[in-house]
Structure 1
Amino acid sequence: MIPNRGPAVLGVTGATDLPAAADVVVIGGGVIGVTTALELARAGHDVCLLEKGVIAGEQSSRNWGWVRQAGRDLRELPLSKVARSRWQALAEEIGPELGYVECGIAYVARSPEQADRHRRWVAEATRLGIRAEIADVKTLAPGLNADYATALYLPGDGRAEPQVAAPLFARLAIAAGATVLQGCAAYEIERDAKGISGVRTERGRIATKRVVLAGGIWTSALLHRLGISLPQLKVLSSVCRTEPLSPEQRRAFSSCLSLGDLALRHRADGGLVAANSDTMVAEIVPDSLRYLRAFLPGLRSTFRGMKLRIGRGTLRELGWLASAGALERSLTRHRILDPTPDATALARVKDRLADRFPALAGLQREQAWGGMIDVTPDAIPVISEVPALPGLIIGTGFSGHGFGIGPGAGVALAALATGAESEVDLADFRFSRFKDGRLQLQSWL
């Protein structure tokens, strides 16, 4: 059993033997990689998924559990529509165990300027066929003790349970014929004169001409071994869950709710998921300097609440520079990266919850955990082929948006891996945008 102090994740019984070859190898067993493998297997392709730990062991089980379109960067909305459709279909297939509920998601407006941004966002979303509105805060959260008037609200948005979602999707992929290997780290993507030739793993080599790299925070390091530079940093998110609420307490709010510095979701077990949503922590690592120029504009806007610190990750990644085998040792030593949550951030969650919702004061915390989010300079993902290396497809940098949009990304990545026509235009998610100088920063929240 692989140790894990984070949330308890639903188990998946996968394969034990590494196949000699596969049509497509997917690296990474989070929601992005798993849904990609599911789409490929159901389309009849021979797909092998490699996960160094367990399915959803890292951020895919540690996120807030929101399935949202609300407030997304407008470039993500077409993909989020595909994702919502897939969530609905998968929920109908799997049943209540997935915990998918269309309860609505709301972002309160904390200033007149933000309310104006919300109105403009609603107009753009409506133009794209997405149901969005400006709602009365007191109607959505009658127990809220704060002077907020309006909120950006999408009644069709919802929630699901992260600890079971990706594992349930993985079970469907296995049933469809996918080979899912847990406890099998991918050490190196191999290439020849024509492009991708295989993947070297801790259990041996698997031959393939196509690789979907969906390795979350580990993606940039694996690409670096190929001489490919992807600006990506790791940001700590700290989350907690509470004891079950009484029926009266549950009536304090109904939708998933963001107050700007506090995010809340009802859980299927009757408790809450709560997080401090205005503080980000990033350890200073070699990539912090390597990609400083790319991230600098966002530090003044999108990532303005980021705190930098020196920690265990600093030393770990310095070691990657010193030894060719250090990354491989990290991949097997940290099969489930389980960072310590930010105690200061969680203390603020407790204080803010009691202040904003008097009925929830004294609610006991039952567990807290940390997770590492893979972020890009413009806070939207890379869903792209790499022109310089035929056969390599990247799905990473979801910047905290990956759980909800995951099934849509899986559809898109499977299409890229097989040369099928994509359901949405992926130009905004192209890998080359980091070099052509066309990054755009947007903030609607």
Structure 2
Amino acid sequence: MYKKCVIIPINRSDLAYESSISAIFRSYELVNPDAFFILYSNFNKPTLNKIEEIVSNTLKIEKVQLHTEGKEEIEKIKDQCEKIYLVPSSGANITAMIMGQLEYPKISYIFSFGPWYNYFYPFVPRLVEDYKIYGQAEVQETNALVNIKENLLKKIDELAKGNQFLKEMYKLSLELNSKDSLKTTFDIRITSEENGPMNLSDSYFNSTNTPLDKRVSLNEKLFEILCKEYYHEKECRLKNITNSEKIKRLEYLPNNILKLIGLYPIVVQEDESQKELNEIVEGADLVLVDTNLIYNGIHTYEIKGLAIPQCAIYEIENKWFQEKDHKQGEFYDVLYEILKGLLRKTKIIPTITELCDIAVPKIDPTLLDKAIILTGDKKAYKNWKYLPLSKYTQIKYAAPDYSRIRNEQHYRAYFELSLAIILKRLLKEDKIEVCYAGKTDKCVEVEND
């Protein structure tokens, strides 16, 4: 007889694996059950097998095959448990409805997608996976993951599949979730022997509480940090930039970093007005993006019809190779890793091996029928809209809106962790830490392998 049990169904959606894993580990933190009962159907055995690979040797899993809509199976499970918690959020609609009719406490999880699309808990910050309680459920936020952290760390290499950026994001999130039970955004602390500690607090990323002039100064603050560490200059200010070519090379790097992590919202020009990107791409079967959209953080959007032309891969690989021996080469390493991560969840459209300005109009029209094409290159936009390409696609100009930032907490958490990872790549000798916002004793050091 188990004291506490959590019952979790697996559904047939595209994110069945991610939602089920997230539900298991969040429930482990909140309830600390003795066993998880996973309800599955025959068609979901492959998903069940993947789940077992993650939780094996870590948590107690009982597999229950569904032969009905779930009610009979749940009634049988109750004979094995003193206390039952139902988690319907990862189940199919009909199973969730059946669970809703039963008189057991329920926990429903709410995952904040956006930049975290295709990620799952505990490899995302805790605030990304929120929850709601229905009924008399005794739950408490804990950092119980610390008890199973070592087993989970061993899974990261396989999950990241050789992508160093993803590996660092997974590890940093897991370490923070294991450090404390807090559910907040983060501060970044940079410590060097020469310049001492420097801080990038969450307030830099919070447009609700921070005046515009301070937000704009995030760009200058980054320039100051990089300039001092690279070139040991005492007066590193963008407005006082010297004529030194080596320092001038840094001028655009801070803003390139902020664009890549998705800090600025991408807006689409529509006649005389602007529209949010999500308004334009919602429901589209195919959204083809030019190379500049990758630089501008398109990976931080949830776009189900997203497609990358081969010419964009060609352009980024070229740039990565050209910059690899320069100080900024590490930035292009991250850009390339983000591209490779993006390719895992998008379509690739064949093109000739040329710059996208030339290659996109020459894509086979049958591959682009009724597609939306987004570019941040005004010259390409003006050219493409007068070509035959515009007769079977919608060509849109899309670029960052530098007057504001994306302020929701799950976005800020992504910006902060991404920035910390990039800074560690650029400032190898410095100590880079991520701390829970305002908690200088709740920090995790960022490490590069």
Larger RCO (alpha carbons 8 Å, 6+ apart): 1
Per the normalisation by structure 1, the TM-score is 0.25
Per the normalisation by structure 2, the TM-score is 0.25
Greater helix fraction, Structure 1 or Structure 2:
2
Structure of greater Rg = 2
